[in-house]
């Protein structure tokens, strides 16, 4: 995607280093972080320098490649497996991270020769990243077919190109249709507590010139009631075999509202987000994050300095689940890189059975 005339990806490989857009500083500053070791890349995932299911998957794949490159021949498998354990422990919910680790680790171990394993790991990580970008474009094409001129679309959190190698998932159809000249309007929820909607989605849509406005999370019900939402498109962090979908906290609320108001509710995700090993939503691990994300807010002061200020009283506490699960019955269709998929066990199984390099085994 282009920012101020320059093409960027959210994460890319640079001669053994992993380059990441520092998402915690957006929209106020655009900085690139360089991770030279797999430990640094893992820490960047854990600290949410990079976030969004697709982007953390790509970063995780690169981290395994970094581990393979530096693993000694004598201890090749054990070292790569140590790295895999560390990387898997960074964030629990997004399936793409686990898909990427499995994919690159398998490539590293395909030969008994560590030298070949190193090369294969780098190739696999780069292919995973490229596939992720292409999947975004495919979701854009597939999802754009659902859109009509002057539609008003609600989205939640950030599932745009910052959350992927490129394009995004939920925002990809919007970008695709916008580039084709279709007039659309997007409502982006601010997405407390980390405000990915206010900080990232709003910025992305501005960069792309897509007409949009931010709303407080609590305003969504009123918009549905006034009849100004024609469709909802969200991303996903993990989709179970029956279609139950984990996505950013607050997604379930929007799905219930969409059903109440008979508005289609679409979930956009590539194959690497589907987890056939999770029979339903109960099997999806939900990340609990630090209470400070709720108790504080951060942003830029009028003098340009980045500040973090406390909202709640000094002794207050907060519960902070990062994701919720939307039951399959509330999802109209999945927008995937393999086409539109019904939210049923059989449609998902048929989709996952088609061969693809990205599906985690």
- Active-site positions? 237
Interaction with ligand MRU in 225-264: which residues (CB under 6 A)? Answer: 234-237, 247-248
Cα separation, 174 vs 290, in Å, equals 33
Three-state secondary-structure class, residue 76: helix
Applying CB under 6 A, among 52, 193, 270, 281 the residue interacting with ligand MRU is 52
Using rule CB under 6 A, residue 196 touches ligand MRU: yes
Closest CA to 176 of 213, 211, 145: 145
Specify the residue, 61 or 235, whose C-beta has the smaller distance to ligand MRU.
235
Using rule CB under 6 A, residue 193 touches ligand MRU: no
Cα separation, 131 vs 291, in Å, equals 35
Cα separation, 315 vs 224, in Å, equals 36
Q: How far is the CB of 171 from ligand MRU (least distance, A)?
A: 9
Angle at 86 between CA 126 and CA 23, to 5 degrees: 60
Query: Which residue in this structure is represented by tokens 């600290």?
Result: 47
Q: How far is the CB of 80 from ligand MRU (least distance, A)?
A: 25
Binding characters for ligand MRU, 143-182, by CB under 6 A (x = yes): --------------xxx---x-----x-------------
| Strand residues in the chain grouped as ranges (E) | 2-3, 6-7, 11-14, 17-21, 32-35, 151-155, 184-189, 212-215, 231-234, 238-240, 245-248, 265-268, 274-275, 296-300, 306-310, 323-326, 333-336, 339-341
Using rule CB under 6 A, residue 49 touches ligand MRU: no
Number of residues that bind ligand MRU (CB under 6 A): 17
Q: What is the DSSP string of 255-280?
A: HHHHHHTT--EEEE--GGGEETT--S
Specify the residue, 58 or 236, whose C-beta has the smaller distance to ligand MRU.
236
Applying CB under 6 A, among 21, 24, 44, 51 the residue interacting with ligand MRU is 51
Q: How far is the CB of 355 from ligand MRU (least distance, A)?
A: 23
Closest CA to 296 of 281, 283, 307, 285: 307
Q: How far is the CB of 293 from ligand MRU (least distance, A)?
A: 10
Specify the residue, 105 or 248, whose C-beta has the smaller distance to ligand MRU.
248
Applying CB under 6 A, among 45, 87, 125, 322 the residue interacting with ligand MRU is 322
Residues 10, 50 contacting (CB under 8 angstroms): yes
Residues 269, 236 contacting (CB under 8 angstroms): yes
Q: How far is the CB of 48 from ligand MRU (least distance, A)?
A: 6
Using rule CB under 6 A, residue 53 touches ligand MRU: yes
Specify the residue, 52 or 114, whose C-beta has the smaller distance to ligand MRU.
52
Contacts with ligand MRU, residue ranges (CB under 6 A) = 51-54, 157-159, 163, 169, 196, 234-237, 247-248, 322
């Amino acid at each position: 995607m282009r920012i101020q005339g320059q093409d960027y990806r959210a994460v890319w490989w640079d001669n053994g280093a992993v380059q990441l857009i520092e998402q915690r500083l957006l929209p106020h500053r655009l900085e690139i972080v360089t991770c030279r070791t797999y430990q640094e890349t893992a820490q960047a995932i854990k600290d949410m320098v990079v976030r969004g299911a697709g982007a953390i998957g790509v970063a995780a794949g690169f981290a395994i490649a970094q581990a393979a490159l530096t693993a000694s021949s004598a201890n090749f498998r054990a070292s790569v497996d140590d790295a895999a354990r560390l990387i898997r422990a960074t964030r629990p919910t997004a399936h793409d991270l686990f898909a990427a680790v499995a994919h690159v680790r398998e490539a590293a171990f395909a030969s008994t020769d560590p030298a070949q394993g190193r090369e294969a790991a780098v190739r696999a990580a780069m292919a995973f990243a490229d596939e992720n970008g292409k999947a975004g474009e495919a979701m854009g094409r597939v999802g754009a077919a659902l859109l009509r001129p002057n539609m008003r679309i609600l989205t939640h959190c950030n599932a745009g190109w910052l959350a992927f190698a490129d394009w995004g998932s939920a925002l990809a159809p919007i970008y695709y249709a916008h580039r084709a000249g279709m007039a659309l309007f997007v409502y982006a929820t601010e997405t407390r507590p980390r405000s990915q909607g206010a900080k990232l989605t709003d910025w992305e849509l501005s960069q792309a010139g897509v007409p949009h406005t931010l709303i407080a999370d609590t305003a969504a019900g009123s918009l549905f009631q006034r009849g100004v939402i024609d469709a909802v498109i969200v991303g996903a962090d993990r989709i179970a075999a029956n279609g139950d979908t984990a996505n950013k906290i607050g997604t379930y609320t929007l799905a219930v509202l969409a059903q109440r108001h008979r508005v289609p509710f679409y979930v956009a995700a590539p194959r690497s987000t589907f987890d056939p090993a999770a029979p339903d939503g109960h099997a999806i691990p939900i990340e609990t994050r630090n209470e400070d994300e709720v108790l504080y807010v951060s942003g830029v002061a009028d003098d340009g300095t980045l500040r973090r200020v406390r909202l709640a009283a000094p002794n207050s506490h907060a519960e902070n689940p990062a994701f919720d699960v939307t039951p399959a019955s509330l999802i109209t269709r999945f927008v995937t890189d393999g086409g539109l998929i019904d939210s049923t066990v059989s449609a998902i199984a048929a989709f996952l059975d088609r061969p693809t390099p990205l599906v985690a085994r």
